[in-house]
Amino acid sequence: MQVLTREQARLAAGLVFLLSVIGSLVYGALVVRDWLKDEQRMPVQVVDFSGDFAHVNVARLERLIRQSQPGSFFELDVNEVFVLVEAQPWVYRASVRKQWPNKLKIYLVEQQPVAQWNDDMLLNPYGDTFEASADELALPKLFGPGGSEKTALEGYNAMKSLLATSSMAIAELSLSERFAWQMQLTNGIELNLGRQEFIDRLQRFIDVFPLLTKEEKPVRYVDLRYDTGFAVGWQDDDNKQS
């Protein structure tokens, strides 16, 4: 049997003490980790939404967040919440951050619809499409080939500004595959503006419209695809009565 020297005994005792300290630290860290992960001890009690919004259903959104992040305040992944929030149809931009000790703060920038696009999407002021229901909103209808959203919106804004000088407004605006413009006004008149100089042609219609209203029959359409003049289609008596 080997007898330890005094120096060896001190080293052995020190090693045992060191291992016990390390073990205690590891055990303590595991206990703290489990405690922090315990949703009952450190729950996210408040989801605070701010911003100017009218269409975002924040109650539904909060449920989605809590379902996707069921853990404690410390386990909640801000990046995942951010992705989830910005994926919602009416959310244009969002910022997400935690606030000690139990709050999640979310700032929302809502989509601002300015027109319907091809009857199945909405357009925001930047010409970006998003899927949402806006049946309750009286939005103009824009139509065009895929990828022409910004062109169509720019044309609509230019023609809307020009018509603001009159009592007329745009109900529908179509851009063909060849980028020719057709318009239906809220008074039912259809305008064929063609591809080129459509702003000048619309101005020509605005200038002559007071004269057209003096005719006995109401105007059905005006074809402005001429260098100097235009062609007018009149409603017949049957159409007038209907």
Q: How many domains does the chain have?
A: 2
Report pLDDT digits (tens) over 40-91.
Answer: 557 888 999 999 999 999 999 999 999 999 888 888 999 999 999 999 999 9
Edge-first strand order for the sheet with 190-194 is 129-130, 121-123, 115-117, 141-143, 170-175, 181-185, 190-194, 219-223, 231-234
Q: Say if residue 218 is in the same domain as residue 147.
A: yes
Q: Say if residue 99 is in the same domain as residue 128.
A: no
Q: Say if residue 72 is in the same domain as residue 154.
A: no
CATH value at residue 52: 3.10.20.310
Peptide bond preceding 140: is omega within 30 degrees of 0, i.e. cis?
A: no
Of 66, 69, 88, nearest to 80 (Cα)? 69
Alpha carbons 107 and 96: distance in angstroms, whole number? 7
What pLDDT shows up at residue 238?
Answer: 46
What average pLDDT does this structure show over 166-175? 95
* Helical segments of the chain, H only: 6-37, 58-68, 78-86, 149-163, 198-212, 237-241
Q: How many DSSP H helices and E strands does the chain contain?
A: 6, 12
Q: Say if residue 96 is in the same domain as residue 129.
A: no
**N-to-C CA span, the chain:** 118
Alpha carbons 152 and 40: distance in angstroms, whole number? 53
Q: Say if residue 121 is in the same domain as residue 187.
A: yes
| Residue 202 in domain | yes
Which structural domain, as residue segments, surrounds residue 152?
115-241
Q: Say if residue 136 is in the same domain as residue 104.
A: no
Give the pLDDT band (50/70/90) at residue 8: low
What pLDDT shows up at residue 239?
Answer: 39
What average pLDDT does this structure show over 143-162? 97
What pLDDT shows up at residue 2?
Answer: 55
CATH value at residue 164: 3.40.50.11690
Among residues 110, 139, 160, the one where a domain terminates is 110
Q: Are 135 and 175 in contact (CB under 8 A)?
A: no
Give the pLDDT band (50/70/90) at residue 237: very low
Output 240 or 69, whichever has higher pLDDT: 69
Percent of the residues in the chain that have a pLDDT greater than 70, as a whole number: 81
Among residues 110, 135, 160, the one where a domain terminates is 110
What pLDDT shows up at residue 75?
Answer: 87
Does the predicted TM-score (pTM) go above 0.85?
Answer: no
